[in-house]
Structure formats: structure tokens, C-alpha cells
Structure 1
């Protein structure tokens, strides 16, 4: 079997770091407009224990649905449910839904974008129209959860829509395994990638991840103050 023609991947921890860097712009583009239109409510977050549990439960459910929507997007393409593996990158605490067979890049992109559109952009739009803060905030959280998907979409820019793409067995991103005019190629397994160099492995420390997340949060808070002003 031939090795993949090209890769558009990131190690899971690096993907988390870059996703954390997107926190501020996502906050400014989602929460900022709500604050400008409706202002901050007197009680922005649930305070009663039951309300807190319900909101946290909705978030956890959203994370699970996020991966399920990835799987649904792959199945809408050229894959089956048996071709989709669910799990967690424990080092980066990142859940994933991994398609183990090549699909067309157009279908791959739809599978990537589906959770952010349904769980993020959908509630965000409802919240902005109705002025319901928690709905807007939930959409924001789901968009943050989809930050890694946005990164993959970004690094796949330029890949033809008909090219064959498969999830990387070990990293975040895809392998471009064949051109658009090629027949469906065989799946790429971890054994096929065993000889790849580990020089681009996960070298990002947790402290750097925490710093970037804190910095993004501070920038977001500053943006909120500007919006409220």
C-alpha cells in the first residue's frame, strides 16, 4: 500500500493550544453582539443548584452530540456507522469521532462543520434574535468546542472537493490519500504510518496551553467591557 500523498494534521495537544487561541475571537463574534444588542442580564448564569446541574448536563450532552454529528456527517458521505470510531485523546482530554475509511473532501468538510453549525451557530442565532442570554452562551460554548474542527477546515483549504480524505489514525486532521479522479483507495491504518518520524510530536506543555487559554479569556473579558461601554 502506498503512503498518503499529503497530510493536513496537528498533534492533539497542539490542536488544543491553537483552539484555545481562538477563544477570544469566538467570544467577541458571538457574545459581543449579544451584549451590544441586549446588554448583560442581571443574573447571567444559573445560581440555583438544579439550574447549574441542568446547564452542565446540557453542556455534556452537547459534547456527546458533537461527536455524534461528526459521525452522522461521515455516514451522509461515503462511510457507514461501522467505519466511525468514537473515543478520547486522553493526553489532550479531547473526544473524537474518527472515520476509518477515505471519503470525498466535500463530505469530510460537511462532517467537520456539522456540529459547529447545529450546536453552535443554531443556538447562537436563536439567542441573538430572542435576547435569551443562556441560549447565546450555550451556542458560544459549542462554538468553542468546535474550534478544533475550524482548524482542520482551515488547514484543508486548497484540497479539491473530490479528493479522497481520511481521518489521521493518530493526530487531529486528515490524510489526502488520492486525487479526485482516482477510485476509492484502501483505508490507511496506524501500521501504514508506523515509520513516520515522531519529530512533529506533541511538544506543547500544559503550562503553555493554560497560558494561552487564560490570555484568550482576558482578551475576551476586555472585549465584553468594550461592548458594554
Structure 2
């Protein structure tokens, strides 16, 4: 397949950056939401339980959407996917066991943060639904790892093949023509 370029992100660094992104998006969305709708809200036990329930449901949906992206765009089989949870880092994951095109990998990588993060965030802002804004804001921040992986592979050709790392945050890129690929990976 060509030269292998391994891209591995440090989980502690990803969590730190995800925290910064989450704080930033929470502050920005709070300012924008308050400007349009004001900042009056009531927290009840029922609303808190609904929030927590929806949050975990959307995290599950986020990982499921990675799988849908791998299946639909990467044209892989269901048996080529693995889903799980890493207790050490408190993260869920969806893993594709076989190489797919860079284009398909990028789509599968960003599909969940777009559909469970940005789209609901915009809808929540437009209709004045504070719970939807809060949930989607956390999911945008939670998708920071996906964004960081995307940033680390953006210089590779869309026709290059890439395989998800089985146990690390990152991937292996199979470079066919090294003269056209950027070997310096900075996130």
C-alpha cells in the first residue's frame, strides 16, 4: 500500500484541548443565546435527569454515526467495525478495522460532530431551546478529538488510504506518493 505514516494523539493532550474547546464553545454559545433569548432558566430534577439522559443518548448516537460513516462512505462491512469504551480515558469509540479512503475517513470522522453538535446548536439557537443548545455545545466540545485527528490528516490526498488505530487515538496513513504528501503532522 505504500509508506505508512502513523499519527497518534496523546489522550491527555486531547482531553486538555477538548476542555479548552468546550469552555470556548460554551462561552460563545451562551453569549449568542443570551443576546437573542435572554438567560432565564429553571433547573428541576426532571429537567436535569432529561439532560443527562439525552446527553448519554447523544454520545451513543455520536459513535453510531462514526460507524454509519465507515459503512456508508467507506463501504466496509459491519464486521469491520468495533465499538467500545476506554475506562482509563473515559471515552467511547467507534473503530474501523480496515483501511478506507481518506475522503471516507474524513467524512466518518466529522459526521457525528456535525449532526449531533453543530446542526442541533444552530437549531437550538434559532428556536430558543436552551437545553438543545447546552447539549449540542457539549457534543461539539466532545468531538474535539475527532477535529484534532482531522487537522492532523488534512494535508494528505483524499485518495490516500487510512486505517483507524485499534488502541490509540489516531490512524495510520498509507502514502503511495510521498512527494505530494506532507510528512510534518502538526495539530
Is the TM-score greater than 0.5?
yes
- Supply the distance in 2 between the matched residues of 1:160 and 1:10 (Cα, whole angstroms): 20
Shift of 1:3: 8.8
Normalized per residue, which structure has more strand? Answer: 2
Q: Give the length in aligned residue pairs.
A: 176
Alignment match, 1:109: 106
C-alpha contact (below 8 Å) 2:26/2:138 kept by paired residues:
no
Pair 1:30-2:26 in alignment: no
C-alpha contact (below 8 Å) 1:113/1:150 kept by paired residues:
yes
TM-score calculated relative to the size of structure 2: 0.86
Q: CA RMSD in A?
A: 1.8
Pair 1:64-2:63 in alignment: no
Alignment match, 2:148: 151
C-alpha contact (below 8 Å) 2:66/2:111 kept by paired residues:
yes
Shift of 1:168: 1.1
- Supply the distance in 1 between the matched residues of 2:41 and 2:162 (Cα, whole angstroms): 48
Distance change (3 Å), C-alpha of 1:74 and 1:17: same
C-alpha contact (below 8 Å) 1:41/1:133 kept by paired residues:
no
Which is higher, the Rg of structure 1 or of structure 2? 1
- Supply the distance in 2 between the matched residues of 1:62 and 1:35 (Cα, whole angstroms): 24
C-alpha contact (below 8 Å) 2:2/2:176 kept by paired residues:
no
